[in-house]
Structure formats: structure tokens, C-alpha cells
Amino acid sequence: MPTQEHMKAALQAYVDGFNTGDPAAVVALFADDATIEDPVGNPPIAGREAITEFYTGTIASGAKLSLDTPVRGSHGNAAAMAFTVEMPNMRIRVIDVMTFDEDGLIATMRAHWGPADVES
């Protein structure tokens, strides 16, 4: 199981890669068979190719992430972060919960946000 330090560093690397406009850096944090549910309730995005397409488009939109609190660990293989997505004319308040595989790569990413978390 990955350490808490590893998982927290991976989530910080996720934010950093996203904000520097580097989708390859973000995608490299994910396992080949990872899934993304963004937001929770949408059909999962599965596999490296689909995840690459998702982050390439999302980063190209001009969105930037800022952590609202420090990344949180767990007593297991998961970590979470509360952050704000800033986009032109929109702000979304999000909590991502990510699980990690035995190699320390992100296995699942679930983004928790709903209509009331979107500000124009």
C-alpha cells in the first residue's frame, strides 16, 4: 500500500501538473486501467486514452485549481482534496477522492460537486 506521504504528494503533483498546463504529467499519475467519475453520478471515464482526452480538454479550457485546505490522507489507500476550479466566468467547489493501487498510481478518481457548488 502506498504511504500517506506518497498519496499526498501525488495529489499535489496532480494540482501542479494541471496548473502548469501539462496533461501528460497529470495522466502519468494514473494506472492504465484507472477510472474517473467527474462528477459522481456521471458515467465513469475508463482507461489511459479516455483519461488523456479528458485532461487534455479540461486543461485546454483554461481551468486552474487552488487547494482550499491541505490534502488529506486516510488509514487506507485513499486521499482527498478540497479545491476550487476557476474557469472563465465560472467557479466550482470540488472534493476529489482518489484511491491508489499497490504501485502507488491513482486507481479511481471521484469528483464530488453538484449544481449548488457552481458559481457564475
Positions marked active-site = 14, 38
Helix (H) / strand (E) containing 106: strand 106-112
Q: Which residue bears the cell 482534496?
A: 81
Q: How many CB atoms lie within 10 A of CB 45?
A: 17
Asked whether 66 and 40 are in contact (CB, 8 A), the reply is no
